[in-house]
Amino acid sequence: MSRPFSNVALFGKPRAENIREPLLAIARIVESAGAKVLFDAATRELVQLDEYPGHSVHAIGKQADVAIVLGGDGTMLGIARELAPHQVPLIGINHGRLGFMTDVSLDQMAEALVPMLRGAYETDRRVLLDGEVRRGGKATFHAAALNDIVVSRGVTGGMVEYTVRVDGAVMYNQRADAVIVATPTGSTAYALSADGPILYPSLAGLLLVPVAPQTLSNRPIVLNDDVVIEIEITDERDAMAHFDMQSYEQLAPGDIVRVKRSAHVATLLHPVGYNFFATLRQKLHWSVMPSEPHSRG
């Protein structure tokens, strides 16, 4: 049992419908547990919560003991990246679709939050990626990612041609629709739809997955998470670099996307008894057996 939380930040999914009442319900639960509510300023403005002051993300990073995020995995990705440098742990309440990281459902909210706020929870640390675009030997763009960094074809279509290097050694030259560098967290996102393996969240590995490669023998590979991966654009076609699919940078021939493990981690908190395999069974229907045909009498 850990210490109870005293200052609890609250974030809501941007532009979400019907989010005001759940946010107020969470605020009341936090206050009933004896903690102070720190509403994110953008969330407060979104739902016009005049009864609470708003706080910047920077101020929340300095004051909050924990942050509750009401939304889907996309909302959690954005908040996790912002709060990771401040070492603020996160609790996710699902107001989206799949909810791998926002694993507490709305109907379980009251039952789950009270013991968590009082110090009863499971801790789950997730690696982030540190990515940058380099042009002419200089860094021109930088962003972090919790799920993945993707180099893909640009608006003109066609395949993107690139060279992958790992710690300076050439791995391969390839033409594909895209190539994904994913964390274990991101292994259940875009990488999974491209036939990549699922990595256990605490595994010290990074996943490299080509999307629709021209060379059909090219397959996903898991690398140590202490390597530096470089993806260099080698064709005249335009390309894009996406960071958690929430920020992007256009790429030109000769540009290099450099990816390595970030110095920061995102800390997710779960109710006591949380199990990753149970999440996979629930979200990916691992427990569903093929139905048998009805016997004919």
Catalytic residue (choose from 40, 50, 65, 73): 73
Q: What is the mean pLDDT of residues 244-255?
A: 95
186-231: per-residue pLDDT in tens? Answer: 999 999 999 999 999 999 999 999 999 998 788 999 999 999 999 9
Give the pTM: 0.92
28-67: per-residue pLDDT in tens? Answer: 999 999 999 999 999 999 888 888 999 999 999 999 999 9
151-198: per-residue pLDDT in tens? Answer: 999 877 789 999 999 999 999 999 999 999 999 999 999 999 999 999
Q: What is the mean pLDDT of residues 106-126?
A: 94
Domains of the chain, first to last: 7-121+271-284 (3.40.50.10330), 128-263 (2.60.200.30)
Catalytic site residue 226?
A: no
Contact, 104 vs 92, CB < 8 A? yes
Concatenate the DSSP letters of all residues of 181-232 into one string: EE-TGGGGTHHHHTTPPPPPTT--EEEEEEES-SSTT---EEEETT--EEEE
255-287: per-residue pLDDT in tens? Answer: 999 999 999 999 999 999 999 998 888 888 876
DSSP conformation class of 104: B
79-92: per-residue pLDDT in tens? Answer: 999 999 999 999 99
Q: Which of 31-45, 62-76, 99-113, 232-246 has the lowest mean pLDDT?
A: 99-113
> How confident is residue 288, by pLDDT bands cut at 50, 70 and 90?
low
CA atoms within 13 A on the CB side of 4: 12
Contact, 210 vs 218, CB < 8 A? yes
Q: What is the pLDDT of residue 297?
A: 45
- Hey, CA dihedral for 62, 63, 65, 71, is it positive or negative? negative
> How confident is residue 293, by pLDDT bands cut at 50, 70 and 90?
low
Q: What is the pLDDT of residue 229?
A: 98
Task: Say which residue the tokens 């893909």 belong to.
Answer: 152
Q: What is the mean pLDDT of residues 105-134?
A: 95
Residue 129 pLDDT exceeds 90: yes
How does 12-27 read in b/e, with b if 16+ C-beta sit within 10 Å?
bbeebeebeebbebbb
